[in-house]
Amino acid sequence: MMENNQAIGIFDSGLGGLTVIRELLKALPNENIVYFGDTARVPYGNKSKKTISRFSIENADFLIKHKVKIIVVACNTSCSLSLNLLKKKYKVPVVGVIEPAVRKAVERSRGLRVGVIGTRGTIKSNVYNQALKRINKRIKIFSKSCPLFVPLIEEDWINDDITLNIGRRYLSELKKREIDTLILACTHYPLLMKAIRKIMGREVELINSAEEVAGHVKELLELSGGLRGAKQKGRCLFYVSDEPAQFVKVGGKFLGRKISCVRKV
């Protein structure tokens, strides 16, 4: 079914999904990747299920036109609100960021006290709770939306007292509840890893969904014989729905290297 040289398709509401590519490049350096960032309509976090489903289908259709062999939905809000819809609609495998992170969290949590942080949309959707409970009903889940994290990251106040203070306010309740594992349920949040670790302490395991989904994609392609045969490095193509300038400027930080080959569609 899969063809080796076809690209891995990945979409996100904007920049956040680049942290997923960063991990994919580590796990699967020889794969070709096509990325679509919906920068004209970003952010998805506070929008309704109906609207997000429509956006997600449009984004996936765009990737399908590029003949991708798998679709990675890197946006937590899209996953929370429309992953099942996408899975039904397309023939290629559709992979979200939620399941891999949830599985890892359950695997790592010793006391079964798991925290989840994300945008308002993700938290309100309750999808992480449902996914965690599906694996183990006894898990205690404590979730908290952190709507200021994304704009703080985009303001580049990453190692900053203000960000630490805001983080402390958002996370204080999770700390009080003595969670042992915390899922970063937003692909922007890995950039705040240091601050979050500082606030939560070393004993709390942080689950980076970008890392987990990359591992999951690798596994899936290996199992299905879908890996690209070639030994040379793969190519990344980036598409965005708004002018690329801001994407290129800020995106480098998410990707961990300079972004080239960005086109507006």
* DSSP code at position 192: G
Q: Which residues bind a copy of itself (CB under 8 A)?
A: 39-41, 46-51, 147-148, 151-152, 154-155, 162, 165-166, 169, 241-243, 245-246
- Is residue 248 packed enough to be buried (19+ CB in 10 Å), middle (13-18) or exposed (0-12)? middle
Select which of 146, 186, 236, 261 is catalytic: 186
Select which of 75, 79, 146, 236 is catalytic: 75
- Based on the residue annotation, tell me whether 261 is a catalytic residue of this protein: no
In whole angstroms, give the CA distance from residue 243 to residue 265: 9
Which residue number, 147 or 215, has a Cβ lying nearer to a copy of itself? 147
Which residue number, 55 or 142, has a Cβ lying nearer to a copy of itself? 55
- Based on the residue annotation, tell me whether 236 is a catalytic residue of this protein: no
93: tokens are 């495998």
Which residue number, 28 or 152, has a Cβ lying nearer to a copy of itself? 152
SS3 content of the chain, % helix, strand, coil (to 5): 50, 15, 35
Does residue 43 have a cis bond before it (omega within 30 degrees)? Answer: yes
- Nearest approach in angstroms of CB 195 to a copy of itself is 15
Which residue number, 17 or 100, has a Cβ lying nearer to a copy of itself? 17
Alpha-carbon dihedral sign for residues 254, 255, 257, 261: negative
- Nearest approach in angstroms of CB 155 to a copy of itself is 6
CB 226 within 8 A of CB 70: yes
Indicate the SS3 state at residue 22. helix
- Nearest approach in angstroms of CB 42 to a copy of itself is 8
- Nearest approach in angstroms of CB 190 to a copy of itself is 20
Instruction: Cite the active site residues.
Output: 75, 186
